[in-house]
Every structure is written in C-alpha cells, then in structure tokens.
Amino acid sequence: MSVSVVVPVYDEADNIPLLYEAVTSVMQRMRVRYEIILVNDGSQDGSTRCLDELTQQDSLVKVIELRKNYGQTAAMQAGIQAASMDTIVLLDGDLQNDPNDIPSLLAKLEEGYDLAHGWRKNRQDTFLDRKLPSKMANWLISKVTGFPAHDIGCTLKAIRTEIAQELDLYGEMHRFIPILAHGRGARCVEVETTHHPRLYGHSKYGISRTLRVLLDLVTVTYFIHYSSSPMKLLGSVGLASFLMSSIAGISAVWVKLGSGAEITGNTLLILAALFSLAGLQFLFFGIMGEICSRIYFASHNKTNYAIRRMMNFEESTIPFRRRRSA
C-alpha cells in the first residue's frame, strides 16, 4: 500500500512542524511508500514560510499554495486531485486528529473496505458551540441520508484514491465524503479515533456553520438520489400537486352541488387552479432537469456508474475506464 497524506492548512504556523514530525514518524514506522501533500489555503500567519522550509528539508513533502482562502473543501479537493499514491489519508492541520490512528484506518482498507472514517467518540471541544451542534447535525444527516454514522464531520479518513478522485467537492461538501462515496458504491466503515484539544491557534469553525451544513445536506441528498434522474423527484411533486388539485376541484363541485353556493371565487376552486399550475411547472422542471442531466454526463465525458474492477479485458478495448465517473 502507498499513501498520500493530504492536509489542508490555514493559519497553522505553530502546528505545522509538530504535524510534520508526527505524520512522518507514523509513515516511517509503517514502512510504506508515502507523500505528504500540504495545501496552503491562503494562510496569513507565517504558515507559508514553514511550508517552504519543509519542502527544502524533505522531498516527500509537497505543497500546494492556493491564491486565496477558498475554504477547507476546495483545499481538500486540490490535494486529492494531486495525490499520486494508491490510498489517500485526509487529516486536519490543527493536531486535534491523531496521526497515530492512521494505521488502524489503513488496516480497514486492507480488510476490503474502500473508506474508513474517524469517530471522535471522546471529542475534546467545547460543548455548546461545537459538540452540541455536531451531535444534532450528525443525527439529522444520518436520518435524512440513511447513512449510519456517529461523526460524519471528522476530517480523519482513509480512502482509496480512485474513489476519492471520482468525487466532485464544492461548498462545504468535504464533511459528506463518506456519504458521497457510499452513494458511488464504496464500502465504508467507521473507526473510533483519538481527539486532542487544540494546542495552538484557534478554530476556524463555530456554530454559524450549522446553516451551511443543512443547506449542503439538501444538495447532497439530491445528488445521491436524484442527480441522474431529476424527474423522480420533480415528477413526484408534480403528480402530488395534480392530486391536490383534483381533491380541491372535486370539493368545490361538491360544495356547489350540495349548497348551491356560487363557485366563482371559491377558495377551493382557486386552490385547484394553483395546484394544477404547480403540477405542470414541476413536470416541466423535471423534463428540463433530465435534459440537463444528460447534457452534463455527455459533455463532461462522465458516466452515471462506477466500476469496482474488470477482469480479463485488454486495456485497448475499454477506453471508457479513463473517464471520470460522475
């Protein structure tokens, strides 16, 4: 097994030397081929100088410097796409994740899993602004997506490179990597990991990110279940609108026949018309979504499936293996 350790870094000058020593020590003990990819996400505190020194000190350290602070998801995506080893380990740059947990995650991949993600069972963070929102978010995410996990937000993960590079990460999607990979057919497992209190610097996240997580949850749910066939969602809403329109229309007629009341301006009749228009619109949006979905897959040379392995095929006969799966 060969390993690319990908670490997004943003204003972690005091943590970088300690992080490098810890990761290097673990990798050397494991006696695996490895590289350390540090992604500088627009740091302003001296992290750039620390990273430059590490690249001169150790050729196995590779640095990607982004032009500005794009956020953890973009930094992580840049590191994933640059990885050249068989397996990718994702790690926070604040030393709260313990590099000594990396071997246990990689061991799960050797057992046949495609992704092993950490569970900070004894999380060393403040309760009100970190642990409580996290517990609530994890419960909601698990219920909505059907993906069983205690701690979906833990950065520490080990994932096969071929799967990681299939994922398109935008916004705050890095925390949903296990769910996105599972949606692509990856075999996932959760592993208890150690969590340390932050020694240097300050957290870049707070309770304000909860709303962004909820919005991204809606996006993730859509892409997992409906991105390849939007009509399943929009068409269902459209049919439900037609059903409501029929109920309202029948009720309006029933009132007219039963009491002889004037039907013009009747609230039920107005509802019937509104639900009919809504149903037509949702069906139209569903058709447009289907067209856009097909254009997306065709223009980006992507497929709506992922292949785990192929046997007894000549490379020249399967050019589609070089395509990136959606």
Share of the chain above pLDDT 90, in %: 31
Q: Annotate 37-102 with DSSP letters as a single string.
A: EEEE-S--SSHHHHHHHHHHH-TTEEEEE-SS---HHHHHHHHHHH--SSEEEE--TTS-B-GGGH
In the prediction, which pLDDT does 254 show? 83
pLDDT of residue 203: 60
Provide the CATH number for the domain around residue 216: 3.90.550.10
| Distances 38 to 91, 118, 194, 295 between C-alpha atoms, Å | 10, 20, 22, 35
- Please report the pLDDT score of residue 86 as a whole number: 94
**Helix-helix angle 231-259:267-299, to 10 degrees:** 170
326 domain residue, yes or no: no
Domain boundary among 195, 225, 255: 225
Most confident of 127-136, 167-176, 185-194, 208-217: 185-194
Which of 7-21, 147-161, 204-218 is predicted with the least confidence, judged by mean pLDDT?
Answer: 204-218
pLDDT at residue 298 tops 90? no
Q: Where are the beta strands (DSSP E) in the chain?
A: 2-9, 33-40, 61-65, 87-90, 115-119, 157-160, 188-192
Residue 46 lies in a domain: yes
Residue 20 has a pLDDT of: 95
- Per the structure, the count of domains in the chain is 2
Element (H, E) at 236: helix 231-259
Instruction: Please give the model's pTM, rounded to 2 decimal places.
Output: 0.73
Strand partners, 39: 8, 64
Verify that 93 and 219 share a domain, yes or no. yes
Sheet with 2-9, strands from edge to edge, namely: 61-65, 33-40, 2-9, 87-90, 157-160, 115-119, 188-192
Which pLDDT belongs to residue 285?
Answer: 85
Average pLDDT on 90-117 reads 93
Cα separation of 76 and 213, whole Å?
17
159 plus 265 within the same structural domain: no
**Residue 136 structural domain:** 2-225
DSSP state of 324: P
Final residue before a domain boundary, out of 225, 259, 279: 225
Confidence label for 320 from pLDDT (cuts 50, 70 and 90) = very low
Inter-residue contact 323 to 302 (CB < 8 Å)? yes
Q: 227 or 86: whose pLDDT is higher? A: 86
Contact 38, 63 (CB under 8 A): yes
Any bridge partners for residue 8, and if so which? 39
Q: What is the pLDDT of residue 54?
A: 93
* Sign of the CA dihedral with 9 first, then 10, 16, and 19 last: negative
Choice among 14-28, 125-139, 283-297 with the minimum mean pLDDT: 125-139
Ranges 12-21, 66-75, 193-202, 300-309: which has the least confidence: 300-309
Residue 90 has pLDDT above 60, yes or no: yes
| Residue 211 and residue 240 in one domain | no
The mean pLDDT of 45-66, rounded to a whole number, is: 91
Give yes or no: residues 197 and 265 share one domain.
no
User: Which of these three, 225, 255, 277, is where a domain ends?
Assistant: 225
Question: Which of the listed ranges 28-32, 64-68, 276-280 does the model predict with the highest average pLDDT?
Answer: 28-32
Q: What is the pLDDT of residues 265-295, one digit of tens each?
A: 678 888 888 988 988 888 888 788 777 876 7
The whole-angstrom separation of Cα 286 and Cα 291 is 9
Q: What is the mean pLDDT of the chain?
A: 81
Same domain, 238 and 301: yes
pLDDT score at 321: 41
Given a cut of 50, whether residue 318 has pLDDT beyond it is no
User: Which residues face 160 on adjacent strands?
Assistant: 87
Residues 257, 115: Cα–Cα separation, whole Å: 64
